[in-house]
Structure 1
Amino acid sequence: MTNENVQETATPTPAGSVETVRKVYAADLREKDRVNTVFRVTKKEKVTARSGKVFLAMSLADKSGEVDARVFDKVDALEPAFQSGDYVLLTGSVIQFHGRTQIVVETVERLDPEPLDPKEFEPPPAPPPEAKAAAEAKPAPEARPAAEKAEKADARHEGGGGARAVGLIREIVTERVNDPFVKQLLVAFLDDPQVSAGLVVAPAAKGMHHAWRGGLAEHLLSVMRLTLRVADHYPMADRDLLLAGALLHDVMKVAEISPDKGFDYTDEGKLVGHLVMTAQKIREKTLAIPGFPPLLEQHITHLVIAHHGQLEYGSPKVPVTLEAHIVHALDSLDSRIASWLEAMQRDPNDKWTEVQRHYERQLWKGPVPTVRGRAPVEGGARRKSREEKRKARGDKAPQQGSVASAPAAEGAAQAPREEQPRPPRKERPPREERQAREERPPRPPREERPPREDRPPREERPPRDVSTLPKELTFKPFSTLTSIPPASKNGEGSSES
């Protein structure tokens, strides 16, 4: 982390001696920086997210201003260690959240304020509204210093996304894993000191894909999100096993690749490798979980040792379960896409990259020939915008057959129509000059029906004579009604009465 405005700050140690810490001011923090400095806590609040996860929300101050901070891990242990108004020595990573700088805190230590200068931690007074609006205005690109542009280009990936990715991974494990044994195993991995310390800064590879600090956590999070989508499409695959494989397949790269400059392989990484290290760690964690099913442990171990897909690629086993094949396919997809995008970003050409030695091919990086009209990455050689091309042609309309988006084409087609004047509407005469409508004749009144009492009474029927009714009723059998009578000699059928 390079900052010009850095001072030495004396902080007390537990034994009472004074330790010197480099002070980095809040105004100098940049995304993906690592922080190990002193602030004064101006606000501290325990918050429960909608997902049910509890975290600490803080505001930290020094003489340059204030910055937000969050504690996502070990909340119960760190929450009572300090209060609002205390001076604290903290470590963590800087991220951008909703356009604001934020520190994801990993460790917090309360300090004795006596050796500290209080003036270094008093935030400046709030500027007037006019000055604040001018300060928040975005500067023009040409006004930015060239050194700042070069620093931003060189530090595209310095690990700032790792801390945020770890928090999102933990949220998925907490909310989306249903099997209690699988959840306990994954939480045990995330709480493991070696994994929790290394996952924030570890790269996913030495140079092929996600080869930056924090790239491993971003890769694992991406594969976990892909498995959630695939599990919805293929419900016959077990979601919990897919999430377990997505998280664990590369997790022990925290011990295989060093996060220091150069991303060299460690001795354990060269001698053992992350597949075997993960299998060993799975056995260690499952033995500590009472009643963990052995068959479940074997399935999860298979997800890890088979995720390279083929024996010649380093897998001791090829995938033999549906979940293992899906994890292998998604891991390969995510790593390949990230590798291609990185190659396109570095390449200076317009349409085709240089031949990629690993893939033995050129990659298309130009805009797609659809109405979307966008390129996979924004970088490399700068392409002229449509407006610049139009000005270069002398403000002419796009030629027929050129690649243009549908909205632009519609705008060009509608321009001549707007210039044509509309015909005037036919004016209606004033209301008093309009011809009055002819009045309809009134309808004739309906003939009134005579009142009910004036109607003639109904004739009363004489009562029925009971003696005329038959005393017994006889019925023919149904078979006689449905039988066909025999034909007579003259061809006519006889009928019974």
Structure 2
Amino acid sequence: MSSDSRRFVSQLAHNEPVSQVFLASDKQLRPNRNGNLYLQVDLSDRSGSVNTRMWNATDNDYKAFDNGDYVHVEGATQLFQGNMQLIATRIRKARPDELDEGDFITLQSADIEKMRTRLTEILEQIQSTPLTRLAKGFLKDDAFMDKFCRAPAGMKNHHAYQGGLLEHVLSLMELVLAVAPKYPQLSQDKLLMGAFLHDAAKTDELFYDRDIGYTDAGQLLGHMVIGVSMLDEKVRQIVQQDGQPFPERLLIELKHLIISHHGEYEYGSPKLPMTLEAIVLHLLDNLDAKVASFSQLMADCPNSESNWTQYFSQIGRKLFKPEKED
């Protein structure tokens, strides 16, 4: 099915018949209140995802496809408590002739290559000698950079698509370049490196060949713990290569930037930000993530005729989406 004829998730309206291909993830076979089984699965394309249910499902329905498979789905949409969902009557693996992989790629390879070039340019602006050594160590690590440019920045909340990590980190680094010169007491070099490293371990926390999920290490450790280990290993490598020591206090400050960037204990931060750079990194990271996630909520809202979205319990509010100015 070509992109010209498909209805993307973001275009689906209430009570609309559906017969097309999606990417399946997070499938579960669950009992309802009466004990009857139903299949729940997230179906996605490059525009977003829709929660899908198949009533009166069997174990064979569950085993008919795997997470990460392209599936052909028949059913109809419905609005439920303000959210769009899809009620499927049939789900099967898609045939190759039914599939256009371009329908599932949010960022094209040319976009990713352009962002990678810009990321390299910014890191090469760093003046600090030890941080320059560290930046070069990561940039020359082809295996790491390949994963860094393919990884998503998260599962659902923001930049949850291949290339999303690179897009988020680059956006954050551009914010650092805009904000740091306004505050001479900040170290722009530390902030740039913190922006680069803060989510770098998403490369190993998540898997992302097709669908997105947590690796075992991601579930057991999380990207902040993995990120500190990743940083230690890279410092060890560059010291071994050039024979020059790496400043211990600087290394501690970089680790603090990684483990404090969530900002609050309730958001999973092991430490509160305690340096100026850590405080600013948290605020800028939160800004970029919030703009991306709120924009996605607005784009996915099924209330297309209203300037207001439905109420989102996860953020405790509706969102206003004014008409676009000419």
The two structures share one fold, judged by TM-score above 0.5: yes
**Bigger mean CA offset, 210-219 vs 186-195:** 186-195
Matches of 1:277 and 1:164 in 2, distance apart?
27
Residue 210 of structure 1: aligned partner: 159
Which residue, 326, 334, 337 being the options, matches 2:280? 326
Q: Tell me, yes or no, if the aligned pair for 1:159 and 1:201 is still in contact at 8 Å.
A: no
Deviation of 1:361 after TM superposition, in Å, equals 1.4
Describe the SS at the equivalent of 2:190.
helix
- Quickly say closer, same or farther: Cα 1:236–1:324, change in 2 above 3 A: same
Matches of 2:145 and 2:203 in 1, distance apart?
9
- From the CA coordinates, give the structure whose radius of gyration is larger: 1
Q: Tell me, yes or no, if the aligned pair for 1:311 and 1:317 is still in contact at 8 Å.
A: yes
Matched to 1:232, the amino acid is: P
Residue 145 of structure 1: aligned partner: none
- Whether 2:285 is the aligned partner of 1:335: answer no
Give per-residue Cα distances to partners, 1:253-301, cap 9 Å, x unaligned. Answer: 0111111232011111111111111111111122232221101101111
Matched to 2:312, the amino acid is: Q
Deviation of 1:224 after TM superposition, in Å, equals 0.3
Matched to 1:278, the amino acid is: G
Alignment of 1:476-495 (within 5 A): none
Q: Tell me, yes or no, if the aligned pair for 1:352 and 1:365 is still in contact at 8 Å.
A: yes
Residue 322 of structure 2: aligned partner: 366
Residue 197 of structure 1: aligned partner: 146
Matched to 1:338, the amino acid is: A
Residue 312 of structure 2: aligned partner: 356
Give structure 1 stretches of 5+ with no counterpart. 4-149, 368-372, 375-404, 406-497
Q: Tell me, yes or no, if the aligned pair for 2:151 and 2:208 is still in contact at 8 Å.
A: yes
Which residue, 183, 203, 206 being the options, matches 2:132? 183
Q: Tell me, yes or no, if the aligned pair for 2:207 and 2:215 is still in contact at 8 Å.
A: yes
Describe the SS at the equivalent of 2:158.
coil
Q: Tell me, yes or no, if the aligned pair for 2:256 and 2:278 is still in contact at 8 Å.
A: yes
- Whether 2:195 is the aligned partner of 1:237: answer no
Give per-residue Cα distances to partners, 1:311-346, cap 9 Å, x unaligned. Answer: 221111110000000000000100010001111112
Deviation of 1:159 after TM superposition, in Å, equals 5.1
Which residue, 158, 163, 173 being the options, matches 2:123? 173
Give structure 2 stretches of 5+ with no counterpart. 4-98
Matched to 2:322, the amino acid is: G
Matches of 2:113 and 2:215 in 1, distance apart?
22
Alignment of 1:6-17 (within 5 A): none
Deviation of 1:166 after TM superposition, in Å, equals 1.7
Deviation of 1:2 after TM superposition, in Å, equals 8.2
- Quickly say closer, same or farther: Cα 1:157–1:361, change in 2 above 3 A: same
Residue 223 of structure 2: aligned partner: 274
Deviation of 1:200 after TM superposition, in Å, equals 1.8
- Quickly say closer, same or farther: Cα 1:342–1:237, change in 2 above 3 A: same
Normalising by structure 1, report the TM-score: 0.43
Q: Tell me, yes or no, if the aligned pair for 1:224 and 1:243 is still in contact at 8 Å.
A: yes
Deviation of 1:153 after TM superposition, in Å, equals 9.7
Matched to 2:309, the amino acid is: T
Matches of 1:262 and 1:242 in 2, distance apart?
32
Which residue, 89, 112, 118 being the options, matches 1:162? 112
More helix by share: 2
Q: How many residues get paired?
A: 223
Matches of 2:112 and 2:140 in 1, distance apart?
16
- Quickly say closer, same or farther: Cα 1:199–1:310, change in 2 above 3 A: same
Matches of 1:358 and 1:245 in 2, distance apart?
28
CA RMSD of aligned residues (A): 2.4
Give per-residue Cα distances to partners, 1:109-168, cap 9 Å, x unaligned. Answer: xxxxxxxxxxxxxxxxxxxxxxxxxxxxxxxxxxxxxxxxx9799546145333322221
Normalising by structure 2, report the TM-score: 0.64
Structure 1 residue runs of 4 or more that deviate by more than 6 Å after TM superposition = 150-153
Deviation of 1:241 after TM superposition, in Å, equals 0.4
- Quickly say closer, same or farther: Cα 1:154–1:353, change in 2 above 3 A: farther
Q: Tell me, yes or no, if the aligned pair for 2:262 and 2:282 is still in contact at 8 Å.
A: yes
- Quickly say closer, same or farther: Cα 1:233–1:198, change in 2 above 3 A: same
Q: Tell me, yes or no, if the aligned pair for 1:178 and 1:240 is still in contact at 8 Å.
A: yes
- Quickly say closer, same or farther: Cα 1:152–1:283, change in 2 above 3 A: closer
- The structure showing larger relative contact order (alpha-carbon pairs under 8 Å, at least 6 residues apart) is 2
Q: Tell me, yes or no, if the aligned pair for 1:203 and 1:211 is still in contact at 8 Å.
A: yes
Residue 286 of structure 1: aligned partner: 235
- Quickly say closer, same or farther: Cα 1:273–1:193, change in 2 above 3 A: farther
Q: Tell me, yes or no, if the aligned pair for 1:256 and 1:273 is still in contact at 8 Å.
A: yes
Describe the SS at the equivalent of 2:284.
helix
Q: Tell me, yes or no, if the aligned pair for 1:242 and 1:327 is still in contact at 8 Å.
A: yes
Matches of 1:313 and 1:280 in 2, distance apart?
21
Matches of 2:276 and 2:101 in 1, distance apart?
43
Describe the SS at the equivalent of 1:200.
helix
Q: Tell me, yes or no, if the aligned pair for 2:2 and 2:100 is still in contact at 8 Å.
A: no
Matched to 2:177, the amino acid is: L
Give per-residue Cα distances to partners, 1:413-453, cap 9 Å, x unaligned. Answer: xxxxxxxxxxxxxxxxxxxxxxxxxxxxxxxxxxxxxxxxx
Describe the SS at the equivalent of 1:185.
helix
Matched to 1:204, the amino acid is: A
Describe the SS at the equivalent of 2:192.
helix
Q: Tell me, yes or no, if the aligned pair for 1:202 and 1:253 is still in contact at 8 Å.
A: yes
